[in-house]
Chains A and B, each alone.
Chain A
Amino acid sequence: MSKIELEACAECDLLLNPALPEMGEKAHCPRCGNLLQRPRKQSIERTFALSIAGLILIFPANLLPLVGIKILGNTKDGNLWSGVAALFQENMWGVAILVFLASILFPLLNIILSLLISAHLYFNKPNAHLARWMRWLQHLDEWAMLEVYTLGIIVACVKLASIAELKFDFGLYAFIALLIITGMLSSSLDEYLFWKQIGELRQKVGHED
């Protein structure tokens, strides 16, 4: 099959000549303004490095207490899991599952998938699952909500400040570091380049067969 040297905008389906923006520039659709491409410097290397950093940070951020409170001599710490556990105990399992997915499982899967994909691309190793992983990553991205969770912590702390003494634990610093890393991770991942590389790796395998 002949290769089609054209592109289409994802949001308005306008047929376009391929945009070839320089590093650091952005290409937008001329008709609807949708961001088409945003090439990043060393996208694969950075994604690889950041996902390793994220994978290390996710353990202290998940397991260590984030915030502690003290009311009339009673103290209590909370981490990412205790919120889920408390909701489960109150039979709010729907909300508990949602919080678990958005604040624990999906951020973890996001990092693991980024690591797997960028490692394969970095070492030029073809894998039959690469395209599937990339699809999962694109769908999961929206549902990993660490930054929204951070805002939740802030609002909760403001609400508690009047009735309790607050104590910020080491887990919170790990959590904030993880938040920054995942933010950098999603901005370093150039989807256009990743798909192109996945396609090229796939062709390489096809020729060897």
Chain B
Amino acid sequence: MVKHRSAGRKASSILPSSYRDPSGSVFAHEGAIYRVIYEPYRTCYERLMGSGLYASLTEKGLLLNHQELGKIAIPLPEPLRAGTHAGRVFRVIRPTTIPFISYPYEWSFSQLKDAALTTLDIALESLEFGMVLKDASPFNTQFFLGKPVHVDTLSFEFYQEGEPWVAYRQFCEGFLGPLVLAATADARLLRLSATHLNGIPLDLVSRLLPLTAKLKSGILIHILAHAKSQKRYADRPLPTLKRGLRKIEFQALLMNLKKTVLGLKPGTSESFWDSYYTRFRYSANAQGSKERIVRTLLEKIKGRVVWDLGANLGVYSRIAAEHAALVVAMDMDVVSIDSMYRTCRQQGEKRILPLVMDLTNPSPSIGWNQEERLSLLDRGPADSVLALALLHHLAISSNVPMFMIAKFLKRICRSSLIVEFVSPGDPQVTRMLERRKDGVPDYTRESFEQAFQKYFTLRSVASVRDTRRAIYHFSTKA
């Protein structure tokens, strides 16, 4: 079993990401994740399980499966035994382990769109079973086996005729706002979700939208009118209304949101890598040679969790996925990651998780007490790391000294590292070095080998045919 990457940090401790939920808590124990359900949520949980909603949602792959455990099956963390929650525990469940937790600000447009559609489908399905999805935060969605799945089992409550959707605001700010910005303004604005963990305020979304986007009906209603309505009724008590939202109207609202989301297409931003590949394409001979070397190494290494750094369109992630349980494919280019995700979905690829990540500024620990959302490093280390055609970008373009690159890779790599070194003299590196008037004396094969052998043991080196590139296989020093 692949362990939860954040689970191994503290044994039997409540995860900081679950502090908000009054219905239960999530804790980690010996590499697995458990969810405690408190007494007040008992009736809702029993309805979820008894009504057929849970079976329907899990069958459709919309909700994460779980297994029910007895109270004494595992030791509860201290606050649940002796703290304010003592005596309130109704049940402990063990959800299927998600091997790598990712966050909305690391997803591409199509990933966030699929997560939004999953959330709306759950909300629509819940109504059929007399329940309502009370929590529509994108953080409740994770990617598992290549698809988005809702992970919060305690997000359901009884539906009462006339009640509007309690999570409407949350959905619009967490999903619709960033999606609309990415589709109509710029896909890089998805990163705003990192600075606005509770969703992007709709007045901000409204200000950033281009005029043409403001004329689309779904955006006009759910973003612009919504922002206006929020402003108009701010600080005013809710007036007593003669009528609420009938069930058919609730369904119509959800369907309209779904239609709006489905109508959003990824923006036409140009990918840096598109033109890069056109300029620096290697010969078929060289490409074949590199793929053979990497495949042979990956077959030998057999890492369960592989991180492919600078994955671009995921050519080598796919090779890694032939032998790994999970490949986390990271690249800073939002267009490449979106393209990779869509290809993976079309091909039914379950073992690759594409993520937008700038390695010179990887996701930090953020949120309450700076531990609600984990940093990239906290979610590692990976068993194996692939760093192909990456070093020269970090060393020359980003000016990171070679020993610091080696040190960083040591932190995220548990056992095997496959790294490509492109020697000076390669046309691409030559062009990059020409732009650096001050020169990069550190960028030599000797200095690369010296820096890496401080942290790693060299296993093998293979040259890529017809190029000045070499693939190094290192193992991490203890």
A joins B in a complex: no
Residues of B within 8 A of A (CB): none
Residues of A within 8 A of B (CB): none
